[in-house]
Amino acid sequence: MKALTKTEFRFPGQKSVYHGKVRDVYNINDDIMVMVATDRISAFDVVLPKGIPFKGQVLNQIAASFLDATADIVPNWKLATPDPMVTVGLKAEGFRVEMIIRGYLTGSAWREYKNGCRELCGVKLPEGMRENERFPEPIITPTTKADEGHDENISKEEIIAQGIVSAEDYEVMERYTRALFQRGTEIAAKKGLILVDTKYEFGKRDGKVILIDEIHTPDSSRYFYADGYEEKFEKGEPQRQLSKEFVRQWLIDHNFMNRPGDVMPELTDEFVNSISDRYIELYEHIVGEKFEKAATEADVAERIEKNVEAWLQK
């Protein structure tokens, strides 16, 4: 199975390209963005040395599905998906903030809580909470968006005081974040899942705040299986998760957390294919449809180029 790990397209009207950890974003005439979801996979802020077949298609199609399912409550950037691995949409000036919203105390928030932290990004946390416990109501814990290295936690007050986002725009982002999380929670519940936490990115176009990038994918979100949640919580057992946490856990088990001196373990073909299978499983649970693998016999990059150019010509 072929994995697409690198793109170097030259689309008509192309002004620039941004190669992110996972996505390659092409700027067309400063008006349209062509976002290619590659098969690269990252963990601990590092891109792993091998691509994961069909991962890009999985992420792109989940995000497209949720952008469509939330367009009635929050305006977004999406115009079309001309290829299984590509979304094209409106170019917006992105805010330098990621809006992280948490419904449950888990992951990095739990690690900080366990170490005595009772305030996260300016949000006061109740005493006596346990790992994976539901918050009385979802909390928003924004981070600054870093070009290099780690994103940093920041409070709403600091964001506004530093002029990163105006008070008016932040209020809109906050309102949209809660509405999206509520809708995502409702959709997940119908699939027997719990949307635990997720992140959203916003931008501004023609003076209006719009949702950009991906939403509710296993790369940007954490899901628990609803069945068995209460029982596992009461016993203090780990929850069954639908996220890429299993990749992080595998790396931790092989002594890699991207610390100084850590050596990346070898990714065997068997492990790579198992990740691919897990991502397909994630898709089928989250979207509730059978995953149809896109044709990979021919050159995947060639297929993408042909499909995107055909759309741009229209």
**Residue 177 sits in the same domain as residue 87:** no
Section 32-48 average pLDDT: 94
* pLDDT confidence band for 143 (50 / 70 / 90): very high
| Domain residue limits at 213 | 95-242
CA angle 154, 255, 110 (to 5 degrees): 35
For the ranges 65-69, 84-88, 167-171, 276-280, the lowest mean pLDDT is seen at: 276-280
Say whether both 150 and 48 belong to one domain.
no
Residue 62: per-residue pLDDT: 96
| 216 within a domain of the structure (yes/no) | yes
- With bands split at pLDDT 50, 70 and 90, how would you rate the model's confidence at 175? very high
Q: Give yes or no for residue 9 having a pLDDT over 70.
A: yes
pLDDT of residue 241: 87
- Reported as a single tens digit per residue, the pLDDT across 277-291 is 989 988 999 999 999
Residue 296 lies inside a defined structural domain of this protein? yes
Residue range 248-267: average pLDDT?
93
Q: What is the DSSP letter of 76?
A: B
The model's pLDDT over 10-34, given as tens digits with 9 standing for 90+, comes to 999 999 999 999 999 999 999 999 9
Determine the residue type at 292. Answer: E
The structural domain count of the chain equals 2
Distance of CA 122 to the CA centre of its chain: 23
pLDDT band at 94 (very low <50, low <70, confident <90, very high): very high
CA angle 155, 159, 162 (to 5 degrees): 130
Residue 259 forms part of a structural domain: no
**Residue 297 reports pLDDT greater than 70:** no
Distance CA 306, CA 314 (A): 13
Domain membership flag for residue 184: yes
pLDDT band of 244, cuts 50, 70, 90: confident
Distance of alpha carbon 219 from alpha carbon 217, whole angstroms: 5
**What per-residue confidence (pLDDT) applies to 151?**
76
CATH label of the domain that carries residue 228: 3.30.470.20
**Residue in 219, 202, 198, 199 with CA at minimum distance from that of residue 211:** 202
Question: Residues 109, 197, 61, CA angle at the centre, nearest 5°?
Answer: 145
Q: Are residues 238 and 156 in the same domain?
A: yes
- Asked whether residue 251 is domain-assigned, the answer is no
pLDDT digits (tens, 9 = 90+) for 189-212: 999 999 999 999 999 999 999 999
pTM of the entire predicted model: 0.92
For residue 257, being part of any structural domain is answered with: no
Q: What confidence category does residue 245 fall into, taking pLDDT thresholds of 50, 70 and 90? A: confident
Residue 150: predicted pLDDT: 65
Within a domain: 280: yes
Average pLDDT, the chain: 94
